[in-house]
Structure 1
């Protein structure tokens, strides 16, 4: 009986405590500062708790703060998730050619072929073999190619060979009709230029020998006549020809099958014969084009030389590579 009384008293005490608790109003929660806009996801993530039996799956994650930069790990995972074969945004597309290194600044602009007059050079990259031979006009400027050389600076080396006959002033030169001698002089000039470029190369950027078997030749005025003569006499070695301000209309028989010729005239020069010749060459089956140098009188390339000559040479390189 005593044990039953004890139990009864205990139950009464519990009931009294519960009654008192229900009668007292709950204490209001402490005020909480609103979370910063960028921290909303973090606050929710910190306050969220789940029983072990209801844990989130590994593939589900809460959104991160929109103002927070992506971590290196997330950037790496995004890259890894790209479709197979898709290039990274910071890399060039597959198959893009590597940019050519410019030639060393200490390469000589003048070389001395043995037993000959100096030849003048505008160097292309050490890894580029293509050559453009320049033949000046009668007693003309052998450095006139500088008006347009920059247009092909990444694609070719320009070598200007002087004439073999001195002019009355003994300063400049003109051309004889010795085509075999001219061809040999070009060979010697190219050997001298290749030697200078080879000496300037390094283990990182070795210089490749210039191509002396398939040349582009640009001739101005009388030099254009000699350029046409070279193409007719040595068609395999000179398959690409640019004839600028030539005194005579070029003939179809000068150009072998597979060769190409660009005829260029100054807008302020006599040019009807050149325009008509270009049309005749085209109807004869010769690969030919005709361009005009704006504002150019005879003896000058004019203010737009780089663009027009660049177009002419680019066309030649494409027609007879």
Structure 2
């Protein structure tokens, strides 16, 4: 039995609709891309699911470079909301390839907010991952703005993380390499737990300071722990 002109027209239009929906749901390539930040250095970004702006910030160590770290756990980062690697703003050496962060927490907070804004997001209820000097900066950010920098993964911090500074955060994972100064992160985790702040200590076998072996597994487990164990996000007032 033949179809009417209207039925044939409808049949021709409908196949295009699922195709459009399918295109919208395709994940972008799993890679860290440079995102220009007005007035600052570019950030390295692995987007979250379906290209969403990251919910994780990574801060590298003294005279380091964040791109390699961000690439090393790109899959875990995407599964947990994406990651933005913020470059240090003080160059180390004339070539400017490696860098460190100025110690001004307000300056680094502003840079994070600008970088997230540049990729279409906002700095609220973030996970901040800091390695070495980055862990030091992350602790100061969480002390000043715990609603914004609410959960931490601190790796090989140069000083023992303080429960007094971090009393208002939602939770923290403290990591060190087996061949690093493990006592700092162990003592930091013990202090947080004693203060009733959700925290856990983890150790990376065989790792020295600055190393992040088996990064996908290590970061996936740390972020899973925060998802399961951090305090609930406070209700907006």
Shift of 1:256: 3.0
Cα deviations by residue, 1:256-311 (Å, 9 ceiling, x for unpaired)? 33521110111122212211221122112221111111221111102x22112211
**SS of structure 1 residue aligned to 2:124:** coil
* Cross-structure match for 2:63: 139
Whether the aligned pair in 2 keeps the contact of 1:148 and 1:309 (CA below 8 Å) is: yes
Aligned length: 206
Verify: 1:225 aligned to 2:136, yes or no: yes
Q: Post-superposition shift, 1:176?
A: 1.2
C-alpha deviations, 1:3-61, integer Å up to 9, x for none? xxxxxxxxxxxxxxxxxxxxxxxxxxxxxxxxxxxxxxxxxxxxxxxxxxxxxxxxxxx
Structure 1 unaligned blocks of 5 or more:
1-99, 195-209
> C-alpha deviations, 1:176-219, integer Å up to 9, x for none?
1211111111111111122xxxxxxxxxxxxxxx3421111000
Alignment pair present for 1:193 and 2:119: yes
Structure with bigger gyration radius: 1
TM-score normalized with structure 2 length: 0.80
Structure number with higher strand proportion: 2
1:181 corresponds in structure 2 to: 107
Could you say if the C-alpha distance between residues 193 and 108 of structure 1 is closer, same or farther in structure 2, counting changes exceeding 3 Å? farther
Counterpart Cα distance in 2 of 1:223 and 1:308: 17
Aligned structure 1 segments of 4 or more residues deviating by more than 4 angstroms = 127-130
TM-score (norm 1): 0.60
RMSD: 2.1
- 1:173 offset after TM fit, Å? 1.1
Q: Show CA shifts across 1:127-181 (max 9, x none).
A: 7565100100001121112222212323311001111211124221111121111
Structure 1 partner of 2:219: 309
Aligned-partner Cα distance in 2 for 1:128–1:270: 37
Among 214, 218, 230, the residue aligned to 2:125: 214
